[in-house]
Amino acid sequence: MSESDFNIQEYLTNGVEIILKDAMRATFRNPKESIFLLKFTKHAKKANKIRESYDKQGKNIPGFLIASITSSCNLHCAGCYSRASDACNDETPSNQLSDDEWEDIFRQARDIGISFIVLAGGEPMIRQDVITKASNYPEILFPIFTNGTLLDDDYFKLFDDNRNLVPILSIEGGEEVTDSRRGKGVYSQLIESMKLMKKKNIIFGASLTFTKENLATLLSRDYIDELHDLGCKVVFFIEYVPMNGQRMDLAPGDSERDLLFKEIDSLRNEYDDMLFMSFPGDEKTSEGCLAAGRGFFHINSHGGAEPCPASPYSDINVGETSILEALDCNLFRSLRNGGILMDEHEGGCVLFEHKEDVERILKG
């Protein structure tokens, strides 16, 4: 698979089949894993046909949605884009969507062919009520991006019983760098949780925020082997975006992206029982940014439909309308049709670099 012909949506849709190979070999240990993956593969193909039918009507339905189900978090991680953009805080605002409202969003997403919903925050595991609602939709795969500090026996049982819930643990590399960003003792807690989930045959992944300084370490085979041995099945490489303009020196540039494209292609070939993704890196191979409904969009904790988490602007609320209407809102249409998403940019998020243009669209 070359960089030029790589398609992120096709890869994610077929990615379940990659994981399935290893799951089938483990059937004798936990058949629930293989049974779910077989069923989900069928659901994903059905969802793709639903999106194709909408496409014939001139309506673009992305296969993916990012849902920040809470703006609260129990950690204060250095460089957190959510806190930098005031989208995350210690207290829970009164306008957060209820679990029933989120369930309605999940139902709508399923009905229009959305197959993957990333649950984010804040710290999403604060909202066990919403995650429990998500378990009712086996047609959708829910990667849950979590700092991992709230994992407990109740959550392990929920994940064991509902294979469409996939915890993605945020880790920065080794113990020193992880604890320096997330807090003392977080690394050891993450490793223990990974070992326990491997023992229970629960599919889980890791989210790695990469910078100019740590990319080579995160891509090293020693580190990938370590994650593999811990039982990690999915690895997300998340490009560092300096949301407040500080530490621009850490933002990956073209050379880092070129290295990631090359190495991630090799990783996909070398580790056939793991799934590797990069954001927004893979977007560069999809002829531009996939935000604003082109490939995905974001719903914040109070229902605002936003282009992506790094571009917290909205002119419509899904709590007052529908997902279909949100995808056709003026902001999304203007971004998709105005060329901004295809623009060259220095690094991180193209919409962040064009925030003045985004604000201009909102003002009409």
Residues 6+ apart with CB under 8 A from 344: none
What is the distance between the alpha carbons of residues 10 and 15, in angstroms, rounded to a whole number? 8
As a whole number, mean pLDDT of residues 162-185 equals 88
Q: What's the farthest any 2 CA atoms get from each other in the chain?
A: 59
> According to the model, what pLDDT value does residue 309 have?
86
Rounded CA gap, 156 and 162, in Å?
A: 10
The arithmetic mean of pLDDT across residues 172-195, rounded, is 88
Residue ranges of domains in the chain: 8-286
Give the other-Cβ count within 10 Å of 4's Cβ: 6
For range 243-265, the mean pLDDT = 78
Matching residue, tokens 């990615």: 15
- Token pair in block for residue 96: 């957060």
Q: How many CB atoms lie within 10 A of CB 340?
A: 22
85 — pLDDT class (breaks 50, 70, 90):
low
Q: What is the pLDDT of residue 56?
A: 92
Q: Is the pLDDT assigned to residue 82 strictly greater than 80?
A: no
Strand partners, 311: 308
Q: Which pair of structure tokens corresponds to residue 304?
A: 């605002």
pLDDT of residue 338: 75
State pLDDT tens for residues 36-58.
877 888 888 899 899 989 989 99
**Higher-scoring residue by pLDDT: 272, 145:** 145
Nearest residue to 177 (alpha-carbon basis) of 263, 281, 77, 264? 77
User: Rounded to an integer, what distance in angstroms lies between the CA atom of residue 204 and that of residue 143?
Assistant: 9
For 266-288, how does the pLDDT look when each residue is reduced to its tens digit (9 = 90+)? 998 898 778 888 876 555 555 67
Task: Kindly give the pairing relationship between strand 275-279 and strand 116-120.
Answer: unpaired
CA atoms of 290 and 168, how far apart (whole Å): 21
pLDDT for 2: 42
Q: Measured on CA atoms in the order 149, 296, 23, 35, is the torsion positive or negative?
A: positive
The pTM assigned to this predicted structure is 0.88
Grouping H, G, I as helix, E, B as strand and the rest as coil, residue 329 is coil
Q: Determine the Cα–Cα distance for residues 214 and 232; give it in Å rounded to an integer.
A: 20
238 vs 27 pLDDT, higher one:
238
Q: Is 14 exposed, middle or buried (0-12, 13-18, 19+ CB in 10 A)?
A: middle
Mean pLDDT over each residue of the chain, to the nearest integer: 83
Of 274, 276, 326, the C-alpha closest to 296 is 326
CATH 3.50.50.60 fits 8-286, yes or no: no
Residue 304 carries which DSSP code? B
Residue type, 133: K
The confidence score (pLDDT) of residue 329 equals 93
